[in-house]
Structure 1
Amino acid sequence: MTDHRTPATHQRAPATHQHTRTTDQRTLAAVTGALYLVTFATSIPALALKAPFLGGGGSLAAAQTAAVLEIMLAVACAGTAVAFYPIGRRYAPALALGFVASRITEAALVAVGVIALLAFTTVRAGLDADAPLPSTLDALAALHDGAFLVGPGLLPALNAALFGTLLIRHRLVPRIIPAAGLIGAPLLTFSALATIGGLVDQVSPVAGVLALPIALWEFAIGIWLLAKGVHVAPVDG
């Protein structure tokens, strides 16, 4: 059968496919960026709300609000990697899949911390106002702190190593952004290991300074992906 389509018709399909793929990548990148910003909007106020309560003060309502925020944090953590995976697998499937696994593990540890916090609130709500705090609460607080030390306290370093390497290797965003994450990864790892070794307090000025490059990287990549998306680079091979 003779093909009566004109050359222009033959050329239109690839162009349309490329446009659709670019649009899809733009949307996925924007979702990834928005979810990164959600992690900021939830984690910082949650820490401020729950810390006094875990220390024996604060209010039940504040702790419950922190738990809700951290459930949102867990969903956003996993969502960043899942949303970006269709883009990342085109360039570096192993790095993209590793990022998904690491981010979901972080989200799971956040969820463990939330469960410990909710158990803490339940036990403490049943106590008389002047009653001494039972040792059970110390155990729940320790479980919460441990989950957050290994989760949001350590795994963002692995996330940055995987995601930052993917982005910088294939020039999907300006190099300065993932470079901040790759610089911050060993600093955050050192901070977490120093905390485990008892050299640094989990919430302290030293830990805050060491975590700053990772925080800047995550905020910057969130803003960039939401506003600009990724550069649609050709896939090797």
Structure 2
Amino acid sequence: MANQRRHAILIGIFFILAAVSSILGLLWYAPLLTESDYLRAGAANANQIVVAALMELVLVTTAVGTAVTMFPILRQYSERIALAHLCFRFLEAVVITIGIVGMLALLSISREFSSTTAADEQSYRVVGSALIAIHDWTFMLGPNFMLGLNTIMYSYIFFQTRQIPRPIATLGLVGSSLIFLASLLEMFGIIEQLSTWGALLAIPVALTEMSLAIWLIAKGFKTSSHTAKTSSSQQLVNSI
């Protein structure tokens, strides 16, 4: 039980760090993602871009952290779902890392463009546009598509086992479905990635993670009947 309490606190901390780092990372990438003259703006704000990349590395760490700390909790109910959640969390981390490499590569191109006299700007912009596209697609596939799959898996288990209040688990099921829908709509170009509709569809899953984080840090997981039976069986096996 003490180990499970520690896991609950760690999961809550990881969720809070994930929310903060993802927002800061996106905001501090602005010179490369929102400026029309991003080739010059990137080099002029190089330190800010590097810090943004570090924020996204924190996001990667939280994805791995939640994967590892949630696994023993989810496995008590379903080993298959627990393994699937573990794998998709790691895949989410890999996808986000690809986007980070793309942004750092764009920063290098921006520095080279700024230090080169009579540079062929069009050629640099072609490469730059490709790297921005890589970031946009990884941002959609990682924090949206994979996030939807991961959230629906742990929300389903928590709803069934009542290890957290059912309203939070229900919000997780709804939020994961909406963020997954948002990613599909973005894939087919029906809505923009950074748009009002995209933000509205992302609100429920954000509320899920924050409410879950606060609950886990303050209260931890409840002991479900299924978990109690599993613990009793394990103790019996160990004694034999």
Which band: TM-score by shorter chain?
A: 0.7 to 0.9
Aligned mate of 2:110, from 120, 124, 127: 124
TM-score by length of 1: 0.86
Higher deviation after alignment, 133-142 or 112-121? 133-142
Query: Aligned residues: percent identity?
Result: 31
- Deviating 4+ runs (over 6 angstroms): none
Could you say which residue in structure 1 is the equivalent of 2:234? none
Distance 1:88 1:185 in 2: 17
TM-score by length of 2: 0.85
Distance 1:224 1:51 in 2: 33
Query: Larger Rg: 1 or 2?
Result: 1
Contact 1:53 1:60 (C-alpha < 8 Å) held by counterparts = no
Aligned pairs (5 A) from 1:105-144: 105-128=91-114, 132=121, 133-144=124-135
Aligned pairs (5 A) from 1:1-237: 22-55=1-34, 56=38, 57=41, 59-128=45-114, 132=121, 133-235=124-226
Contact 1:32 1:81 (C-alpha < 8 Å) held by counterparts = no
Letter in 1 for 2:23: I
The structure that is helix-richer by fraction is 2
Alignment length, in residue pairs? 216
Higher deviation after alignment, 83-92 or 112-121? 83-92
User: What is the Cα-based RMSD across aligned positions, in Å?
Assistant: 1.6
Deviation at 1:234, TM superposition (A): 3.0
Contact 1:106 1:155 (C-alpha < 8 Å) held by counterparts = yes
Higher deviation after alignment, 144-153 or 126-135? 126-135
Distance 1:86 1:189 in 2: 25
Distance 1:64 1:85 in 2: 32
Deviation at 1:51, TM superposition (A): 2.8
Distance 2:30 2:150 in 1: 25
Distance 1:211 1:179 in 2: 15
